[in-house]
Structure 1
């Protein structure tokens, strides 16, 4: 691997594996709201929250952290306006104190907050507008959670850049350089001093929130149910700890996580199984870090073709990444890791994303189970072959097929999911 590509791989890990507190879509809304208030310079009387369908889908049911259990777009916007720190971006609500929580609820109950679906073809768009008397401010975020493309004060631009996404993409390392062969080579040869801080933060943060989820009754308690029902085998612990991290996140826990591909759930799904298997196998710290490199970069590679938000559940790609990292811990190389990824994708691809909520934890457990089955299939001399459904010859070609399925084939599915979720029921 040449030095330029090596540095690109380091940069991708550092760009993707960043801390966030709470589900990233409501936190992005809170960030936009906090930035709008900061731009306005005073507490607004009215807020308009205009968002794409996928934002509605991923904010509708999840509890916003540090709000005392409130959920939904109005709660996210209120929290950002009343108590958020825009300078902290995806940790915008991390500094909210117990004393400030009543102010968030009071703002929600005493001010006008209007939510509407944006007339846009964009999957990811947040248009947050606030008003106080004759003054107004606007913040527009497109394509990524912190990709602010426009800030206005009283109708005049304060900041503006191309909303096509190209400008933001150019600032980030090109993800198209990723491929499984080079990911494995990079993981095996990387100077860990270049990535250890990033990966250790992922270990520390994601383990802490999983432990929190196992200790308290968050969400549907999927992690706790798994341990109570199926025991403490390493296979079950891998699923239970990851599910518990999601239980806590979806239940409004205020602990941060280190995300992957813009998602805390995906960051948890990749890291916790690898961590638990490293403990079980008594792997040294170096092998744990190298396994996490493989897991994280594999998931990012898969998600690049799928897109940020879609009808394709991101836990599936994250589960494939986790299985790839665990395969490495068992001594697997390029061949074994590639077959594990293909087997995993053949099993669970097509699971739909119907928004962030308690059941995400169960989908995470299913995705990890598929990954472990995919790994053990190849260990037992079994595999799926080219022509078995969407599987084709070569891991990269199969990954391309998954991207096409999720990005193009499931586009109408995504619209129908949003339609179903927004239907008024008696």
Structure 2
């Protein structure tokens, strides 16, 4: 089919938002800021100060940092400063060595790594300030996980970039569910075959999660339940445990990249694995799987656009909604069934909170995937939550905007309470 003008923009959005990431993207963005700052400094840092937004702090407190066996933004900043490679972007920690990790631990032990809350209205903000031999350099990242807005050395601005505009207005945003579905269905396969790399990366990390004891072992535990006769080995169980296993491994800090979506590895996993699981079990071709993956990932991006990068709403439900749509496509459903799936998801687990990135995210991934499959199967039977119920609307785009409004304006106070609870835990221990 002839490439429509707007389809090039859809492909550009996919190439921007679906990228490899090593480790949870919040600690990684801190590591990336530190790596940029040290490159500007030009020498090994003697001290390191990181200032972050509350939402970034929330998402970086409890998740494993690849290659370190530790959690926290301080170790992420330290290894990023001492061994990170800024040109690798979200894979900045790819080339860490045990020696670098030990050096980073020593820098922390000597009291030379500090993390503090920044005074900023940005939800995603990270500034790394490094010093050595009387010189100081800094790097500020904001709005997106790789969005460097300023690099300085000794008060001289070396690099300055505008904040990425995230305008959610109808006029500037090209995606809609009708347009996404048409693109996924009709675009030439060779123009979207690149999405199969998401399947390769995320299935590989899922296999590791099933093979080894990572995090809460949610996926591996489901495998054991099957052996005990407590679960069946059906397609839904396969999709759920495979996705959970990938999250288990990722949140525990495995040194292996995943294909992310909208700046989140867990969202990338959740938008990918359930679709590939259904495609494998149903014996679908690579082209059929690729089209379903495109529908899934673009749907997740579309929903996330109305929500913002970091919020009090768990991103796994958005990605799982995408995968539910992809599953519908694999089952032979059309746009009507896709829209029913989204309404069913928004009518069920729309309010799941995000209380930071951590090993228990695998449980949220599992719950979201099960809900998505249930939503998709109901949709295929002609069932959807009616537009008169709750925040659901008969108009699918209004329905999606309602979800975005819930997660932004509606959960501002929720976000504050979650962060307050998390940062004051030590006061009660």
1:206 paired with 2:207, answer: no
- Aligned mate of 1:425, from 404, 417, 428: 428
Q: Counterparts of 2:392 and 2:383 in 1: how far apart (Å)? A: 14
Q: Which residue of 1 aligns with 2:232?
A: 231
Q: Which residue of 1 aligns with 2:351?
A: 350
Q: Counterparts of 1:57 and 1:71 in 2: how far apart (Å)? A: 12
The CA deviation string for residues 192-221 of structure 1, in whole angstroms up to 9 with x for no partner, is: 222212x12101110111111111110000
Displacement after TM superposition at 1:52 (Å): 0.4
Unmatched segments (≥5 aa) in structure 2: 226-230
Q: Which residue of 1 aligns with 2:180?
A: 183
Displacement after TM superposition at 1:175 (Å): 7.3
Displacement after TM superposition at 1:233 (Å): 1.2
Q: What are the within-5 Å matches in structure 2 for residues 361-380 of structure 1?
A: 361-380=362-381
The CA deviation string for residues 289-345 of structure 1, in whole angstroms up to 9 with x for no partner, is: 000010000000000001100000000111100000000000001111111111111
Q: Check whether the contact 2:251–2:359 (CA below 8 A) recurs between aligned residues.
A: yes
- Change beyond 3 A, Cα 1:87–1:10: same
1:149 paired with 2:155, answer: no
Displacement after TM superposition at 1:235 (Å): 0.2
Q: What are the within-5 Å matches in structure 2 for residues 97-108 of structure 1?
A: 97-108=97-108
**Partner of 1:115: helix, strand, or coil?**
strand
Displacement after TM superposition at 1:104 (Å): 2.6
Q: Counterparts of 1:95 and 1:45 in 2: how far apart (Å)? A: 21
Displacement after TM superposition at 1:161 (Å): 2.3
TM-score by length of 1: 0.95
Q: What are the within-5 Å matches in structure 2 for residues 5-404 of structure 1?
A: 5-67=6-68, 69-163=69-163, 165-166=164-165, 176-197=173-194, 199-229=195-225, 230-404=231-405
**Partner of 1:347: helix, strand, or coil?**
coil
Displacement after TM superposition at 1:242 (Å): 0.6
Q: Counterparts of 1:186 and 1:383 in 2: how far apart (Å)? A: 24
Displacement after TM superposition at 1:373 (Å): 1.2
Q: Counterparts of 1:145 and 1:379 in 2: how far apart (Å)? A: 37
Displacement after TM superposition at 1:2 (Å): 6.9
Q: Counterparts of 1:47 and 1:379 in 2: how far apart (Å)? A: 54
Q: Counterparts of 1:402 and 1:145 in 2: how far apart (Å)? A: 23
Displacement after TM superposition at 1:70 (Å): 1.4
Q: Check whether the contact 1:45–1:111 (CA below 8 A) recurs between aligned residues.
A: no
CA RMSD of aligned residues (A): 1.5
Q: Check whether the contact 1:175–1:301 (CA below 8 A) recurs between aligned residues.
A: no
TM-score by length of 2: 0.95
Q: Which residue of 1 aligns with 2:228?
A: none
With 388-397 and 260-269 compared, the bigger mean Cα shift is at 388-397
**Partner of 2:184: helix, strand, or coil?**
helix
Q: Counterparts of 1:102 and 1:419 in 2: how far apart (Å)? A: 32
Displacement after TM superposition at 1:100 (Å): 3.2
Q: Counterparts of 1:358 and 1:184 in 2: how far apart (Å)? A: 33
Unmatched segments (≥5 aa) in structure 1: none
Q: Counterparts of 1:360 and 1:395 in 2: how far apart (Å)? A: 28
Q: Counterparts of 1:58 and 1:346 in 2: how far apart (Å)? A: 26
Q: Check whether the contact 1:37–1:130 (CA below 8 A) recurs between aligned residues.
A: yes
Displacement after TM superposition at 1:383 (Å): 2.0
Q: Check whether the contact 1:175–1:304 (CA below 8 A) recurs between aligned residues.
A: no
Q: Counterparts of 1:215 and 1:244 in 2: how far apart (Å)? A: 9
Displacement after TM superposition at 1:109 (Å): 2.0
Q: Check whether the contact 2:333–2:380 (CA below 8 A) recurs between aligned residues.
A: no
Q: Counterparts of 2:313 and 2:59 in 1: how far apart (Å)? A: 13
Displacement after TM superposition at 1:83 (Å): 1.1
The CA deviation string for residues 112-166 of structure 1, in whole angstroms up to 9 with x for no partner, is: 1121101111111101101113200010111100000000000110011234x33
Q: Check whether the contact 1:317–1:345 (CA below 8 A) recurs between aligned residues.
A: no
